[in-house]
Amino acid sequence: MTSIHHTPKDFASIIYGSVVKNSKSKSLALETIEEIVDTVFWTSLQKEEAEFHLFSIIITTSKKVDVEPPQRIRYDRWQFIPFAESIELKPHNLTKLGAAASSESALIVVYAPSNRPPMIIGLIDQQLAYYRSARHDTSGSIYSVPLGLVIKILGRGQLIASYNDELLAELRGGDVLHDLPDVFDGGPIYTVLKPGFENLLKEIYCDLSDAKGYKTFCIQELKDLWASTFKRLLCQIREMKHGGTILVSFPTAKVQNTCKIKYKVDFKRLHIAMVKQIVHKYENDLFENIIMNEYIDKEKELLPVVLYLDEAIAQSDSEDANAAIAGSIKFVSTLSKHDGTVLMTPDFSVYGFGVEITTNETPKKIVSVKKSRGSVRKAKPIDPERFGTRHRSSMRFCWANPGSVAFVISQDGGVRAITRLNEKVVMWEDIKLLGKYY
């Protein structure tokens, strides 16, 4: 949702209100947050070695950063690396340090005591797994995250804030955005796309038809994977910063007549990998539970070799499917760099790219809603002329093809979802893509 706030100071006010509400504490003063946000904002406008650097800071009110370490510390858990001497929190210092501390690798630690100016006191490592997890990339090890207020630079003048792993707000293009709609968790977009989910589920059930008790497991696992795959794809296109459009629709005759497909393809690897990932994950869990419940818990001396091999093979196949999903998402996201749009079914089969939308059918009415489950009746009418060619053509396509969805990614980072509901084209602005950290 876009608020009435427009400046870094307003962004800081929302952060302060959320931190106080969540922590029941006023350990961070509003003036301190304003000073830090202002410094990070001006840093985001500066270059180092002719490049803008994207990095994150975490704010602490205690020099003991790792307050409650677990009893057993994993090898890949984060650690605090203190500097021998503290550094002033100034844009030029952050710009230099940000070049060596990208968000994929580290957090810059800012110490903000109540009686002194904020200072940079060190770094936190091992952020790669968490960075991937926030983008719904589930490959890799379990991540851990230091708790606190985190502010991240996403681009020039674009900041995002989280507190204790929960998104607070985003500053972008002179607006403060918060309470972004998650259109994949319910509501009209979810309903329009649901046939794709159901197709995938049927294939999974077919592969597991000889197993027992798999349906509940598969429904929940696929729901998470289906939503996260859409989000990962849109995230990767957004991070290319060239803009793009994904049209999601089954290849009906009407679709063929309302667009011109320059490159017709039949790319099903992503679809197949998603099915196999759920199947092999279920098999892996099944064999693990048998080994644990029937042998380890009962302290049996012997474990059948075949059972052990079945579990190992299922785990390996599941990892292979995960790798195929990651590679396929990268492949499809890159197709969006070509002029035109990408055509994809709701169950992730790509059948065209470099697509030109040719229909001239004009929507009777175009409205904008702010929440994923918001009432279309109360939606606000919008003038399509305030949007560019990419948005207007997507509106025409969705109007001409009921049951389709367009995801339009702007160069400035905004992602909009568009579909037709009855006699209206409905648009959700600034949909939520990233995980809780974002």
Residue-wise pLDDT for 19-38, tens only, equals: 876 665 567 889 999 999 99
Residues ≥6 apart with Cβ < 8 Å to 50: none
pLDDT classification of 435: cutoffs 50, 70, 90: low
Higher pLDDT, residue 15 or 6: 15
Nearest 5°: the CA angle 229, 56, 327 is: 25
> Does the pLDDT at position 437 exceed 70?
no
Tell whether 156 and 23 lie within a shared domain: yes
Residue 378, domain extent: 188-269+319-428
Lowest mean pLDDT among 152-156, 305-309, 313-317, 395-399: 152-156
Is 306 contained in some domain?
no
Higher pLDDT, residue 356 or 135: 356
Q: Tokens representing 434?
A: 């990233």
Model-level pTM? Answer: 0.82
Instruction: CATH number of the domain at 391, please.
Output: 3.40.1700.10
Last residue of a domain, one of 177, 199, 219: 177
Amino acid identity, position 293: N
Last residue of a domain, one of 153, 177, 201: 177
Q: So what's the pLDDT on residue 78?
A: 84
Rounded to whole angstroms, what are the CA distances from 30 to 87, 172, 426?
22, 21, 38
Tell whether 265 and 338 lie within a shared domain: yes
Tell whether 46 and 107 lie within a shared domain: yes
Is 292 contained in some domain?
no
Backbone angles phi, psi at 211, to 5 degrees: -90, 170
Is 145 contained in some domain?
yes
Tell whether 138 and 171 lie within a shared domain: yes
Tell whether 127 and 60 lie within a shared domain: yes
Tell whether 203 and 166 lie within a shared domain: no
Is 88 contained in some domain?
yes
Last residue of a domain, one of 155, 177, 199: 177
Counting other chains too, the contacts that 98-104 makes at CB distance below 8 Å and 24 or more residues apart are 98/43, 98/48, 98/53, 98/54, 98/55, 98/153, 99/48, 99/49, 99/51, 99/53, 101/55, 102/53, 102/54, 102/55, 103/54, 103/55, 103/56, 103/127, 103/131, 103/152, 104/128, 104/131
Q: So what's the pLDDT on residue 429?
A: 85
> Does the pLDDT at position 70 exceed 80?
no
Q: So what's the pLDDT on residue 370?
A: 78
> Does the pLDDT at position 393 exceed 80?
yes
pLDDT classification of 144: cutoffs 50, 70, 90: low
Tell whether 232 and 169 lie within a shared domain: no
Tell whether 107 and 242 lie within a shared domain: no
Is 300 contained in some domain?
no
pLDDT classification of 140: cutoffs 50, 70, 90: very low
Higher pLDDT, residue 104 or 229: 229
Q: So what's the pLDDT on residue 403?
A: 96
Tell whether 201 and 242 lie within a shared domain: yes
pLDDT classification of 438: cutoffs 50, 70, 90: very low
Number of domains within the chain: 2
Is 182 contained in some domain?
no
Instruction: Provide the CA 288 distance to its chain's centre, in angstroms.
Output: 30
pLDDT classification of 63: cutoffs 50, 70, 90: confident
Higher pLDDT, residue 173 or 282: 282
pLDDT > 70: percent of the chain: 91
